[in-house]
Amino acid sequence: MKIVGKGIGKIDGMAIATGKPVYTDDLVMPNALVIKLLRSPHAFAKIITIDTTKAEQVPGVACVLTYKDVPNVRFTVAGQSYPEPSPYDRLILEQIVRYVGDEVAVIAAVDERTALKAMKLIKVAYEVYEPVLDFETAKGHTSVVHTETDLHCNFDIGMKQQLNVVSSQYLEMGNVEEELKKCAVVVEDINYMQAQAHCMMETYRAFSYLDHAGRLVVVSSTQIPFHVRRKLARSLEIPSSKVRVIKPRIGGGFGGKQTVVMEFFTALVTLKTGKPAKLIYDREETFSCSNSRHAMRLTVRVGADSDGYIRAIDIQGLSDTGAYGEHASTVFMVVGQKTLPLYNKTNAVRFMGDVVYTNKMPGGAFRGYGATQGTFGLEAAINKLADKLNMDPTELRLKNLIKAGESSLISQGKLLGSSSLHRCIEKGKELIGWAEKYPKPVVNGNKVRAVGMAVTMQGSGIANIDTASAEVRLSDDGNYTLLIGSTDMGTGSDTILAQMAAEILETDMGKIIVNASDTDVSPYDPGSYASSTTYVTGMAVVKAAEELKQKIIEKGAAFLEVLATEVEFDGKVIRTLTGEKELSLEKLAERMVLGLGKLQLVGNGTYGSPVSPPPYVAGFAEVEVDTDTGKVSLIDYVAVVDCGTVINPNLARIQVEGGIVQGIGLALYEEVRFGKKGNLHTNSFMQYKIPCRKDIGRIHVAFEECFEPTGPFGAKSVGEVVANTPAPAIVHAVYNAVGVRINRLPITPEKVFLGLQDKK
């Protein structure tokens, strides 16, 4: 292959690296109103009175809006295909506020200073309720977070509204309790993962205006333009034909922007005032008033027979979805879906549990989307099992993990299309020096070094749901326009999709113009989430490019007055096999749009897959623990990745490195702390520590390619799977070093120190 498989630089790389004004806040018109939001200081309260008269009178204030000014139509903010598996439990502004930071009033003014001044003049009287702050006591709590009678679920997700349960799930194959009884060895482990914050560098922001046709245009730093359009139409009660959503360059998302966080407010203001309006969340709002990873408790039991075959897995989860239920049931479902297929020598598996409402900021989509939490819980138990079986943890994996062509209890008979996970483990062992470093830790005074490992899987798109379309158009000048709706948030998806098209059309990258993503123009795409862009949108691009290529050949042959089977196309020229006659692509393009051809050539592709082929990662960590202080330093991290065919090695490598560092943050540094009244303390980079350059050791990334038959050029996905292994691998390494098993993330020096004290 000439272009796919090459580390081609991103088509927007130079512009974004050198600070060109291509992001949302760079594009907004200078006279746009500035919006500020008044937020609830209480975790759970009802607005009894709200008086905005003084605020409205401040010169320069365009409008001050409260719950009285919005339609009474409930919706979900989840970026999911319709019908969404998330409860319609939101109003744009509501009389009940359900977490500290929940929106109370929208103030639009000529500038920020004026808006803030007006905000101070709004008088609100609240009736404060007792908040539900602990997710372990939320179910059946006397305070019910959602009492509204018009809460709507598109279909049954197991909601028990009065009990604060958003989704109750139960999936069992075989009889887990019976099977566990038969096992020679059973271990149980209980683990907690925190509500990790995305910390994308570009905070949430959007602006909107009315265009020349009176339509509402919203420019937003979003991953989901089509879902945004649908939800704005519903919540504002306007026809969706009147809404256009445009996504410019955006500064990261990681799933946070797979939720319609704040576009409602700019849209509302523009509709009310007729004026352009912008809203930029600052870092504090981004931390505390958007969404985070779902905090979860995982109680996992695994049982093995005396030969070391894992015969039963039971995962019981409790998930904290916060004040609103977007992504609640789906993230939870993924906990089981992307863990149970891994070990397929089982006779029984079960995934069950509840997702509960609490009066905290909602959980949402975050890279891994439940697989991160599930992997953490399961791999911790599997490592504990290896210990009890006196078996090398890598041997236990190699013996029990699913291979290509096999199936698992929850796969519904579908066979695994591709996997190189076994090779990944072997390679990873080599790279980290597993044979020399496991099981004996290396002790050097108060410094102890040891290794740990974990494996994980994810998906590539959502089977039978994610469907994307793509269009490739041959323009009059012989160039191609690739129209896609997927949303490059820095990952480089625009570039790799162009690579695919260029490969098929046998042309170079310079001839492909990528246009993405604008709901007026782009073919439908759910957006970039669920690791769907390379796989689902990629296949749509492949189909579209192949269709166009075929049309070029047919039309070219027709002009050359031969049959399509009698020509070949090398990307530049359509030539008869005999070599006598030829027609250049430029000439063909020119003719097709004019009288001679009368048909501009376009290739279309729509793809949705009945399977979600899993990418895999084998992760290995080497840590050094200071036994005097409990401090854990990361010396080395090895990740060997199976993402099928690697479309762009440079970009894929960075995805892995980036995901690993997020996983390292989750494991060692990113602590989430709430105050007694439900206010988030860790709401700044000063308090919430994402890893800085000195916090990571060496990171080695390797790929073990394999060919996924259903994927473009054999590719699967890589975007999410990479975040899942560091936490369990590091916990394992710390245990192997000093015998302290940390069950609650992040691993802090004090926790390790206390563990060491307890052992004495």
Query: Site residues for other proteins, window 13-42 (CB under 8 A)?
Result: 13-21, 23, 25-26
In the complex, the smallest distance separating the C-beta of residue 661 from other proteins, rounded to whole angstroms, is 4
Question: Cβ contacts of residue 758 below 8 Å, gap of 6+?
Answer: none
Neighbours of 155 (CB within 10 A): 7
In the complex, the smallest distance separating the C-beta of residue 668 from other proteins, rounded to whole angstroms, is 7
For other proteins, the closer CB: 100 or 592: 100
In the complex, the smallest distance separating the C-beta of residue 126 from other proteins, rounded to whole angstroms, is 22
Query: Site residues for other proteins, window 143-202 (CB under 8 A)?
Result: 198-202
In the complex, the smallest distance separating the C-beta of residue 267 from other proteins, rounded to whole angstroms, is 24
Cβ–Cβ under 8 Å, residues 204 and 237: no
- 60 sits near other proteins (criterion: CB under 8 A): no
In the complex, the smallest distance separating the C-beta of residue 760 from other proteins, rounded to whole angstroms, is 12
Distance CA 623, CA 736 (A): 10
In the complex, the smallest distance separating the C-beta of residue 109 from other proteins, rounded to whole angstroms, is 15
Distance CA 94, CA 740 (A): 47
Closest by alpha carbon to 615, among 414, 351, 464, 420?
A: 420
For other proteins, the closer CB: 18 or 578: 18
Q: Provide the token pair at 540.
A: 């749509």
Query: Site residues for other proteins, window 729-758 (CB under 8 A)?
Result: 748-750, 753-754
DSSP state of 292: B
Stretch that binds other proteins, among 11-19, 167-175, 307-315, 324-332 (CB under 8 A): 11-19
Stretch that binds other proteins, among 208-216, 334-342, 529-537, 666-674 (CB under 8 A): 666-674
In the complex, the smallest distance separating the C-beta of residue 13 from other proteins, rounded to whole angstroms, is 4
In the complex, the smallest distance separating the C-beta of residue 205 from other proteins, rounded to whole angstroms, is 11
Q: Give one word for 433, left, alpha or beta, with left for phi > 0 and alpha for psi -120 to 50.
A: left
DSSP state of 536: I
Query: Site residues for other proteins, window 239-258 (CB under 8 A)?
Result: 249-252, 254
Distance CA 131, CA 733 (A): 38
CA 32 to chain centre: 31
In the complex, the smallest distance separating the C-beta of residue 565 from other proteins, rounded to whole angstroms, is 41
Among 352, 635, 654, 702, binds other proteins (CB under 8 A): 654
Q: Residues touching other proteins: how many (CB under 8 A)?
A: 73
In the complex, the smallest distance separating the C-beta of residue 641 from other proteins, rounded to whole angstroms, is 13
Residues 537-576, mask of contacts with other proteins (x by CB under 8 A) = ----------------------------------------
For other proteins, the closer CB: 15 or 599: 15
**CB-based burial, 544-575: b 16+ in 10 Å, e otherwise:** bbbbbbebbbebbbbbbebebeebebebebbb
For other proteins, the closer CB: 18 or 306: 18
CA 677 to chain centre: 30
Query: Site residues for other proteins, window 472-531 (CB under 8 A)?
Result: 489-492
Distance CA 660, CA 655 (A): 8
Among 54, 403, 687, 739, binds other proteins (CB under 8 A): 687
Stretch that binds other proteins, among 89-97, 225-233, 523-531, 679-687 (CB under 8 A): 679-687
Stretch that binds other proteins, among 320-328, 471-479, 514-522, 628-636 (CB under 8 A): 628-636
For other proteins, the closer CB: 497 or 539: 497
Among 167, 203, 208, 418, binds other proteins (CB under 8 A): 203
In the complex, the smallest distance separating the C-beta of residue 115 from other proteins, rounded to whole angstroms, is 13
Paired residues of 468 in beta bridges: 607
Letter for the amino acid at 101? G
Among 10, 230, 543, 575, binds other proteins (CB under 8 A): 10
> Prior bond to 746 cis, omega within 30?
yes
Among 668, 721, 731, 742, binds other proteins (CB under 8 A): 668
Q: How far is CA 226 from each of CA 143, 222, 507, 526, rounded to the nearest angstrom?
A: 36, 10, 30, 7
Question: Cβ contacts of residue 75 below 8 Å, gap of 6+?
Answer: 88, 90, 231, 234, 235
Query: Site residues for other proteins, window 573-612 (CB under 8 A)?
Result: none
Torsion of CA 260, 261, 262, 267, to 10 degrees: 10
Name the strands in the sheet holding 61-65, side by side, starting at the edge strand that comes first in the sequence: 61-65, 103-109, 33-39, 277-280, 205-210, 216-220, 243-246
Distance CA 260, CA 202 (A): 15
Paired residues of 607 in beta bridges: 468
Q: How far is CA 406 from each of CA 118, 206, 207, 348, rounded to the nearest angstrom?
A: 64, 47, 50, 16
Stretch that binds other proteins, among 69-77, 158-166, 326-334, 668-676 (CB under 8 A): 668-676
What Rg do the C-alpha atoms of the chain give, in angstroms? 27
For other proteins, the closer CB: 341 or 726: 726
In the complex, the smallest distance separating the C-beta of residue 331 from other proteins, rounded to whole angstroms, is 20
Among 521, 673, 709, 739, binds other proteins (CB under 8 A): 673
In the complex, the smallest distance separating the C-beta of residue 408 from other proteins, rounded to whole angstroms, is 31
In the complex, the smallest distance separating the C-beta of residue 15 from other proteins, rounded to whole angstroms, is 8
Distance CA 693, CA 655 (A): 17
Among 212, 694, 759, 760, binds other proteins (CB under 8 A): 694
Residues 268-287, mask of contacts with other proteins (x by CB under 8 A) = --------------xxx---
